[in-house]
Amino acid sequence: MQQALWLLGKVTPLAVLDIALVTLVIYGFLVLIRGTQADQLVRGALILLLATGLLGSWLNLTMLNWLVQNSLPAVLVTLPVVFQPELRRVLEQLGRTGNILAGPRLRVTAHHGMTVADEVAKACQMLVDRGYGALIVIERVTGLEEYVQSATRLDAILSADLLNQVFFKGSPLHDGAALVRGDRVVAARCLLPLSENHDLAPDVGTRHRAAVGITESTDAVCVVVSEETGAVSICEHGRIQRIPDASHLASALLLLIGSPRTTDDAVQVPSGTARVDSLISQLSSLGKVTR
């Protein structure tokens, strides 16, 4: 009883704040890596450390205990290298929430949301009819200027005809992605990072892997038209979902990047990785999209 009272006497508001902050950091880290390859890596490392620690303490293995204790500093050094994708993602998320300068870009995207959705949907329908493939990236808060620098700058007003000219098979611009910012096509032939997600189907092509890759590290929305099958897919936050046909693409894009045009389309879509799943399920309830 006296020990318990002594411990309670040592608990100060600053100590409670310290414990709460550490708990919040650990919880945020676990939420961040949930569902990623790092999740399994952390589980394996914890199991290994606990097993070796318990075995060394139980059997009093001096050398094993020494090895575990002296390996911890090296583990701390390697953490930033092993979890580089996760650390980059959390820093980008912090930048998106705290970037005051991102406000105008958000307003431009919302203002031109209907135009972007209509023109992209029309372009995809024309591309499907002509048997062309396409990869269209719609920029939102996270800047994509680094991909523009190595691409062909266009800075042209967005239109379905322009996108068809870009992805025409004989066009020198059809390889790579077209980047849309606001109501303008900023660049074409953009080279995007390919996703290393092993959960993707083996038959997923380069365009689809590039769409997943760019949306894993940014908040962009990607539209992919398959040259082989004519299938239209939409991708956000590393999640890709096929749209039954290009005629329903405008409604799907409006739910992600702009205000709905009718009360029938006025569906609330949450933020985060569940947006695409929620989008498809709610469109399905409207009879527009099926899995």
Percent of the chain with pLDDT over 70: 75
Higher pLDDT among residues 33 and 257, named by residue:
257
Mean pLDDT calculated for residue range 11-19: 86
Neighbours of 207 (CB within 10 A): 21
Place of tokens 């606001």: 182
Residue 157 pLDDT more than 50?
A: yes
Asked if residues 279 and 256 have their Cβ atoms less than 8 Å apart, the reply is yes
Q: How many CB atoms lie within 10 A of CB 79?
A: 12
In this structure, the number of other CB atoms found within 10 A of the CB of residue 247 comes to 15
With a cut of 60, say whether residue 55 has pLDDT above it.
yes
* Segments in 112-224 forming alpha helices (H): 113-130, 145-149, 160-166, 206-217
Residue 265 sits at φ, ψ, to 5 deg, of -95, 0
Question: Which of the listed ranges 113-117, 179-183, 287-291 does the model predict with the highest average pLDDT?
Answer: 179-183
Q: Where are the alpha helices (DSSP H) in 34-112?
A: 37-59, 62-82, 84-98, 102-111
Sheet strands side by side (includes 177-181): 152-157, 184-190, 177-181, 134-138, 221-225, 232-236, 239-243
Check pLDDT > 60 for residue 90: yes
Which range has the top average pLDDT, 70-79, 87-96, 165-174?
Answer: 165-174
Q: 222 in helix, strand or coil?
A: strand
Q: Range with the lowest mean pLDDT among 82-91, 133-142, 164-173, 277-286?
A: 277-286
Question: Token pair 């006296």 is at which residue?
Answer: 2
pLDDT at 273: 42
| Mean per-residue pLDDT, 239-250 | 82
Name 134's bridge partners. Answer: 225
Question: What pTM does this model have?
Answer: 0.62
Which residues in the chain are classed under CATH 3.40.1700.10? 103-285
Backbone phi, psi, residue 140, to 5°: -120, -110
Question: Per-residue pLDDT for 88 more than 90?
Answer: no
Q: Which residue has the higher pLDDT, 269 or 110?
A: 110
With residue 234 as reference, give the H or E element that holds it: strand 232-236
Q: Which residue's structure tokens are 């708990």?
A: 23
Average pLDDT across the chain, whole number = 78
Low-confidence winner among 24-33, 165-174, 226-235 (lowest mean pLDDT): 24-33
DSSP SS3 for 41: helix
pLDDT attached to residue 290 = 37
Q: Hey, which CATH number is domain 103-285, 3.30.2310.20, 3.90.79.10, 3.50.50.60, 3.40.1700.10?
A: 3.40.1700.10
Q: Nearest to residue 164, comparing CAs of 182, 153, 178, 151?
A: 178
The pLDDT of residue 140: 87
Determine contact, residues 180/137, Cβ cutoff 8 Å. yes
